[in-house]
Amino acid sequence: MKSVSSKRLYQYWQDLRGDRPAPERRDIEPAAIKSLLSDVFILEHVSGTEFSYRLAGSSLCAAYCRELKGRSFRQYWNEEDLEALDTMMLAIREDAAAAVVGYHAINQRGQRAPFEMLLLPLRYGGKDYPRVLGIA
């Protein structure tokens, strides 16, 4: 991890999970990560390889020039990256794996911006890990 924000969110997640594979969604206390919230998001597993944004911070929405809540996570990735993305999301959901991804986002004007994304599993509703806490 290169990003200070990613490192801070990871440490918070580590502290919450203790000796468990991942913390519960209800363990997340927004006030504890107040300085990170504009860049934080939560994804929810919809079905198969599909995840959607459950919530997304204001800076992230501004970077995409739209509200992300309810939108597909996969729709913002290039076709050639989807197989790797699906494999990674499956490992997060089924194995409670954490992931760090470096990528370039491209806006509608073709401008590129580098990002680092951290994806952390969350247990929810007695199911394994259908939610993902992330920061970009």
Per-residue pLDDT of the chain (136 residues; tens, 9 = 90+): 999 999 999 999 999 999 999 999 999 999 999 999 999 999 999 998 999 999 999 998 998 889 999 999 999 898 999 999 999 999 999 999 999 999 887 777 888 888 899 999 999 987 789 999 999 9
The burial class, CB within 10 Å (0-12 / 13-18 / 19+), for 51 is buried
Q: Residue 10 corresponds to which tokens in the numbers above? A: 């990871």
Rounded Cα distance between 17 and 26, Å, is 12
Which residue, chain included where needed, has tokens 């993902």?
Answer: 132
